[in-house]
Amino acid sequence: MASISERTFIAIKPDGVQRGLVGEIIRRFEQKGFKLVAMKLTHASEDLLREHYIDLKDRPFYAGLVQYMHSGPIVAMVWEGLNVIKTGRVMLGETNPMDSKPGTIRGDLCVQVGRNIIHGSDSLESAEAEINLWFSPEELVDYRSCAHEWIYE
């Protein structure tokens, strides 16, 4: 069996927080069987956001994205589980909500790409970098869920 200790970074963007979707999004990850190991409500600095989106710095929407993400609170989270990065991305849906299938977070809850409510790591490397950027090691809680045996063989 593959390692179940894979972790991903998930952030509920300011539009998701302002619309009161935090609980719904957490519910979906919990119901899937993933384990929450870190979470905080934060108003991210522009420096943190520029670093987070550094791979997009040459794109025309970069400055607006940083400004938008700095416009309100963000719920930053770390989730753990088997294939959590790939599965989490499927749960989020496509970046553009119009391309997202019903049943996905963006397919059910979003209309426009500029307000797509959630970010999720797209690879193991980006997950590690994003987790380290947003959380200190002391903020990651290591525990065994009582549901573990009911989720994994």
Annotated binding site: 13, 61, 89, 95, 106, 116
CB 95 within 8 A of CB 113: yes
Q: Report the C-alpha gap between 104 and 52 in whole angstroms.
A: 24
What pLDDT, on the 0 to 100 scale, is given for residue 5? Answer: 81
- The full set of domains in the chain, from first to last, is 7-141 (3.30.70.141)
Q: Rg of the chain over CA atoms, in angstroms?
A: 15
What's the confidence (pLDDT) of residue 54?
96
Alpha helix ranges (H) inside 19-82: 22-32, 46-52, 62-69
Rounded to the nearest 10 degrees, the angle between the axes of helix 22-32 and helix 84-92 is 140
pLDDT per 10-residue tile (average), the chain, 153 residues:
78 98 98 98 98 96 96 98 97 96 97 95 97 98 94 91
Query: Residue 38: in which H helix or E strand, if any?
Result: strand 35-42
Binding site feature residues for ATP: 13, 61, 89, 95, 106, 116
CA distances from residue 79 to 26, 70, 140 in whole angstroms, order as listed: 10, 23, 10
pLDDT of residue 4: 66
Per-residue pLDDT tens digits for 32-52: 999 999 999 999 999 999 999
Q: Which positions are annotated as active-site residues?
A: 119
Check residue 21 and give its pLDDT: 98
